[in-house]
Amino acid sequence: MAACSLWSPYGAYELKAKYQRNFLYGTGLTLGLVVLILLISWIASMEDDIEADATAAVVIKTVAELGPPPSIARKPPQVKVEAPKTVAPKVGIPKPVADDEVMDEDVVLATRDELAEIVAPDIASVAGEGGIEIDISDDDYLPAPDEFVPVEIYPEMIYQAPLEYPRLAKQAGITGVVWVQALVDKDGNVRDARIGKSSGTVSLDEAALKQAKDCKFKPGIQNGRPVNCWVTYKVDFVLDE
């Protein structure tokens, strides 16, 4: 009787097919556990260091580092007191004068209380009763250069008089820019002129002022009516090439 034998591959085939994957899983799991343990240890050590710093004792090596002892006396609470409301007197600083300019001794000066009782008359209450008459002509009033005048449309130059270049400045080749401030009345005429910003040369400034007196403007307009106001414009002194 012939003997029969069962054939099988060498070793366990199923284990050989899965051992690499199982090896990788095991290695990754081991590394993860090691990293987790190290991280927990590091966090615990950091907390210990923070607590140690918070509870660390202050070492004083010299007497000077002790500082002054605390006061044992009780200080009363501070009460906020408002400063009294006083009005400064509207009187300037007195100036010495000559003996012949001193007032007579018979002159009676009003006290501060008497001056406070002096009240300007109520114009509205006496209007039409012949008590006060207001006669101020707008045409005669000319504002100062630094006075604010409300203007909706500023004056515009419509005629520029010929500019006379100073002979000596022209021969010397001097140039410059002059800013002129002109007072233009309701008719567009220049009533006054001054230097707003000098060119640095007197002759050029004087020539610009002389020209300004002969210039003609459109007057400034406020509420649809012409007004007297100041205007600033530039005058260039340039030599022809």
Domain ranges, ordered by start, for the chain? 13-52, 156-237
Residues 39-51 pLDDT 10s: 888 888 887 766 6
Task: Report the candidate in 66, 40, 227 with the shortest Cα–Cα distance to residue 151.
Answer: 227
Least confident of 30-39, 100-109, 113-122, 138-147: 100-109
Please name the residues in contact with 195: beta carbons below 8 A apart, sequence gap of 6 or more.
178, 179, 180, 181, 205, 208, 209
- What is the three-class DSSP state of 13? helix
For residue 126, name the pLDDT band (cuts at 50, 70, 90).
very low
Which pTM value belongs to this model?
Answer: 0.44
Exposed, middle or buried by CB within 10 Å (0-12, 13-18, 19+), for 157?
middle
Which residue bears the tokens 């309701």?
186
CATH architecture of 156-237: 2-Layer Sandwich (3.30)
Average the pLDDT over 161-188 and give the result.
92
Q: How confident is the model at residue 89 (pLDDT cuts 50, 70, 90)?
A: low
Q: Token match 């556990």: residue?
A: 33
Q: How confident is the model at residue 233 (pLDDT cuts 50, 70, 90)?
A: very high
